[in-house]
Amino acid sequence: MWMADLRAVTFSSSSVLRVVRPAALRCAARDALADLGSSAPLPSFEEDWSRYESERARRRWEDQVEVPIESVVPRTAAPWPNESFATAVADRFGDSLEWQGDVLPALDYLREAGFRTVLLADLPVPLSRAWQERSKPWFDEVVTSRDLARRTPDPAAFHETLRRLRIGPHGLLHVGAGIVEDVHAAKALQMRAALLERFGRPPPDPEAVAWLRRVHGLDAATVTPDLRLGSLEDLPFALDAFA
pTM exceeds 0.75: yes
Of 130-134, 146-150, 186-190, 230-234, the one with minimum mean pLDDT is 130-134
144 and 192 part of one domain: yes
187 and 220 part of one domain: yes
89 and 161 part of one domain: no
142 and 88 part of one domain: no
How far is 117 from 106, CA to CA, in rounded Å?
11
The predicted structure's pLDDT at residue 11? 97
The predicted structure's pLDDT at residue 15? 79
With a pLDDT cut of 70, the percent of the chain lying above it is: 93
The one-letter code for the residue type at 147 is D
Look at residues 94, 114, 141 and tell me which one is the last residue of a structural domain.
Answer: 94
User: What confidence tier does 76 reach under pLDDT thresholds 50, 70, 90?
Assistant: very low
Model pLDDT for residues 202-221, shown as the tens digit of each residue: 788 999 999 999 999 999 99
How far is 10 from 174, CA to CA, in rounded Å?
5
| Order of strands, sheet of 227-229, starting from the edge strand that comes earlier in the sequence | 141-144, 116-121, 8-12, 172-176, 192-196, 227-229
DSSP string for 55-105: HHHHHHHHT-B---GGGG-GGG---S-HHHHHHHHHHHHHTT--B-TTHHH
Q: What is the CATH number of the domain that holds 189?
A: 3.40.50.1000
Is residue 160 within 8 Å of 189, Cβ to Cβ?
Answer: no
Q: How many CB atoms lie within 10 A of CB 95?
A: 14
215 and 149 part of one domain: yes
Look at residues 33, 68, 94 and tell me which one is the last residue of a structural domain.
Answer: 94
Q: What's the half-sphere exposure (Cβ side, CA atoms, 13 Å) at 183?
A: 22
Q: What's the half-sphere exposure (Cβ side, CA atoms, 13 Å) at 136?
A: 7
In which domain, by residue range, is 29 found? 24-94
Look at residues 63, 94, 125 and tell me which one is the last residue of a structural domain.
Answer: 94
Residues with Cβ within 8 Å of 193's Cβ and at least 6 positions away in sequence, in order, are: 173, 174, 175, 176, 182, 183, 186, 187, 225, 226, 227
